Amino acid sequence: MTDRCILVAMSDSHGGSQLGLLNPATVLHREHADGTIEKWKPAPTATQQMLWALYMEQMAQVDELAAGDDLILFHVGDLSQGNKYPALLVSNRLADQIIIAEDNLLPWFTRPNLRAARLAMGTGSHTFGDGSTEVLVADALQRQYPDLDIQPLYHGLANVRGVRIDYAHHGPGPGIREWTAGNQVRYYLKSLVHGDLRTGQDPPDLVLRGHYHTYRRESIYQRINGQDRAFEMLLLPGYCGMGDHGHQATRGAWEQHFGLVAFEIAYGKVIEIHPFRVVVDLRTREVI
């Protein structure tokens, strides 16, 4: 057994939305007027086909990077779409979103080198309140894979092979101006580090947040006990296309980031960070 492991961090897959991740093997149930129940497979939209192909490609890249070493999975929130924004739902049944969310994670659990999974609870409007989606999915996966360590939680502080990682769904935004992008991430990280120092705790080496479907990586340096230490924070990309609410919430952002981030950990530190992602320009280009 090697000390090296790969931490996979992903977020915002929004299962149940026609713009979110959908495992093409997913089977749902529906009732007919005569009371019979039929199994059916939802037909993926063009966005879902693109996202699943990208997901499989990036999963293969993680496999190549891991080369058989241990995998640890962090999903940092919004496994499902929820019912507050009902436009473009795959199904109106709550249970179907849970099934889709679980099926979206299942490919990771076919990896014999997967050791643990953590499901951070996302936005209440997307997870049916109180992290219901993450709790139900974690419970279902734990029943299927009793030998694995699978837990839902709101805000984690994990020690992964000597690297301290603070992770949760909500955090700072990436910024709305090109020339100030990243400032809020650095301020947030610095405040978190100072807060831990004030209370006599050792600050985390790495901070992970989701929610904004945008990749951003920022670093700060802090002198502690006469030593300069580096701290990093990443906002994670997502696996969900942009709907009406997304366009409004992001004030018409023209870039969207899809993918995940893999962290190569060994010898008690992060050796390298691998962002497996694509950036899509959402603007319609034309000549009139």
- What is the DSSP-derived secondary structure letter of residue 180? G
Q: Residue 269 half-sphere exposure, CB side, CA atoms within 13 Å?
A: 6
Query: Which tens digits make up the pLDDT trace of 234-278?
Result: 999 999 988 776 666 676 677 889 999 999 999 999 999 999 999
- Hey, how many other C-beta atoms are within 10 angstroms of the C-beta on 27? 11
* Radius of gyration from C-alpha coordinates of the chain: 19
Report d(CA 195, CA 184) in Å as an integer: 16
Fold observed for domain 5-281: Purple Acid Phosphatase; chain A, domain 2 (3.60.21)
Query: Which tens digits make up the pLDDT trace of 203-212?
Result: 999 999 999 9
Answer positive or negative: Cα dihedral of 111, 67, 218, 279. Answer: negative
pTM of the model: 0.94
Q: Edge to edge, what strands does the sheet with 255-266 contain?
A: 149-153, 114-120, 70-75, 5-10, 255-266, 269-281
Domain ranges of the chain: 5-281
Query: Which tens digits make up the pLDDT trace of 50-105?
Result: 999 999 999 999 999 999 999 999 999 999 999 998 889 999 999 999 999 999 99
Give the bridge partners for 129, in sequence order. none
